[in-house]
Amino acid sequence: MHLYHHRSRAIGAAALLAALCGLSSALQAAGPKAYVGNFKDNTVSVLDIGAGTVLATVPVSAGPDGTVVVPGGGPVFVSGASASTLSVIDSASDTVAQTVEVGKGPQGLALTPDGQTLLVAVNGDDRMAWLSVASRQVLGSVAVGKPHTIAVHPDGTRAYVSSQQPGHFALVEIDLRTKVVTATLPLDKAPRDLEFSADGKALYVTLAGVAAVQEWDPAQNRMVAQIATGPSPHLAHHFAGMAFGVVVVQGPGEVQLFDPASHQALRSIAVGQQPHWMDRGVDSNQLLVSNEGSNSVSIVDLASGQSRTVAVGNAPRKIAVQHPAGQVGAVPVAIADFNFAPVETLAVVGQTVTWTNRDGAPHGLAFQDGAAGSDLLLPGQSFSRKFDGPGSFDYVCSVHPYMTGKVVVGAR
Ligand SMILES: [Cu+2]
């Protein structure tokens, strides 16, 4: 909580300065940032995407691997695959604010759609752990053999983990509500990465030694198609707002575009050597690709096929772009068994909380601050409220006033 206080003061001071000096347009011109882990330097390069420059080089835990940027100016989590810790970078100052012990050799990281929970593939300890983004406390873990990367379904209900357990390669499905393994889908080769399409209908999987991307149907837990690529595809995705899917192909050093419906390759764009990872840039035509073999990042315009190259540190692997807060999903609260679950909900400024009546009886919502609630929420119905400022917001069920709850909204 300390950190959040600190950050809100810093933002307040910057806004005041901008208002006094008429600098607001200059401040707005500062573009979004991207964070790239340099695996052999034990640093993260912070890029200004618009300017194509390196803003800062931040020392982090050894073997920077999984990287997650919490949208809207939240913290950046970087796993130290050669250590047992995560580095937490404050994205306002681009310095390490905290180092969190998570267990041996943490690799892939993933954020739940509500922005509240970070999932960690603790490879050396054979488990997937989860921690609170707000408190940075490890809350629990579930056994998974040699977990490598993690993909969360866009509806937030489940995660898939690539398991590189020798002799037992698999995709492991975990129910995120109960944190129980619900399926283990065997693979004949070691899985490399897995990503959900933005609509949640496809799970794209890459395997060691297979020159194709496998498309799995998460509704049926089976492989439904293969997309042929050049040698060594690493990461395939269909990002929100893009008309096509994209694959980083390490062998030829390119990004391949494909048609998600027909699974046919469309065209390829050359990037650097041994490209490792990618993220969607500031619009649906921009892609950022880390080039492990040429110590650079390519900022690719998918429409024209043109790209700019930015030099970074030694062996850049994971790259993640800082996206706006609007892309943080709503925080769900269930009304069940005449209780609000959770009773206390954490949110950030600008975030929406959605209550859904999962009981057999009608309930309602009355906020103590007088904001509009709902007199009657029938079973199955939902109510949403967006929180535009920080604070603590108490509420009760308007039908059963003994049912109480609270939303705590923190600054970003
Ligand atoms: Cu009630």
First-residue to last-residue Cα distance in the chain: 10
Mean of pLDDT over the chain: 89
Percent of the chain topping pLDDT 70: 91
User: Per-residue pLDDT averaged across 392-409, rounded?
Assistant: 94
Q: 359 CA distance to ligand 1 centroid (A)?
A: 9
What the block records as the tokens of 368 is 């103590």
Residue 365, amino acid: L
Long-range CB pairs of 306-313, under 8 A, 24+ apart, other chains included: 307/269, 307/271, 308/52, 309/272, 310/47, 310/52, 310/53, 310/54, 311/54, 312/36, 312/38, 312/45, 312/47, 312/54, 313/36, 313/38, 313/40, 313/41, 313/43, 313/45, 313/57
> For residue 326, what pLDDT is reported?
58
> For residue 329, what pLDDT is reported?
60
Q: 375 CA distance to ligand 1 centroid (A)?
A: 10
Q: 176 CA distance to ligand 1 centroid (A)?
A: 26
Among 84-88, 288-292, 349-353, the least confident range:
349-353
Per DSSP bridges, beta strands 95-101 and 106-111 are unpaired
Task: State the Cα–Cα distance between residues 333 and 405, nearest whole angstrom.
Answer: 10
- Domain ranges (residues) in the chain: 330-410
Task: State the Cα–Cα distance between residues 51 and 33, nearest whole angstrom.
Answer: 10
Please tell me the chain's helix, strand, coil percentages from 3-state DSSP, rounded to the nearest 5: 10, 50, 40
User: Above 80 in pLDDT, residue 299?
Assistant: yes
CATH class of 330-410: mainly beta
DSSP code at position 390: -
Beta-bridge partner residues of 233: 249
| Residue bearing tokens 């198609």 | 225
DSSP track, 318-363:
EEEE---GGGSPPEEEEEETTEEESSEEEEETT-EEEEEE-SSS-E
Element of type H or E holding 377: strand 374-377
| Residue bearing tokens 């999987």 | 205
Among 125-129, 349-353, 360-364, 394-398, the least confident range:
349-353
Q: Which residue has the higher pLDDT, 326 or 102?
A: 102
Give the pLDDT confidence of 209-224 residue by residue, as tens digits.
999 999 999 999 999 9
Q: 169 CA distance to ligand 1 centroid (A)?
A: 47
Q: 399 CA distance to ligand 1 centroid (A)?
A: 5
Task: State the Cα–Cα distance between residues 178 and 337, nearest whole angstrom.
Answer: 17
> For residue 13, what pLDDT is reported?
43
User: Per-residue pLDDT averaged across 343-367, rounded?
Assistant: 87
> For residue 31, what pLDDT is reported?
63
Q: 14 CA distance to ligand 1 centroid (A)?
A: 44
> For residue 8, what pLDDT is reported?
39
Give the pLDDT confidence of 312-340 residue by residue, as tens digits.
999 999 999 998 765 456 677 889 999 99
> For residue 321, what pLDDT is reported?
95
Give strand ranges (E) for 75-165.
76-80, 85-90, 95-101, 106-111, 117-122, 127-132, 138-143, 147-152, 158-163
Residues in the chain: 412
Q: 362 CA distance to ligand 1 centroid (A)?
A: 6
> For residue 412, what pLDDT is reported?
56
Q: 158 CA distance to ligand 1 centroid (A)?
A: 28
> For residue 12, what pLDDT is reported?
43
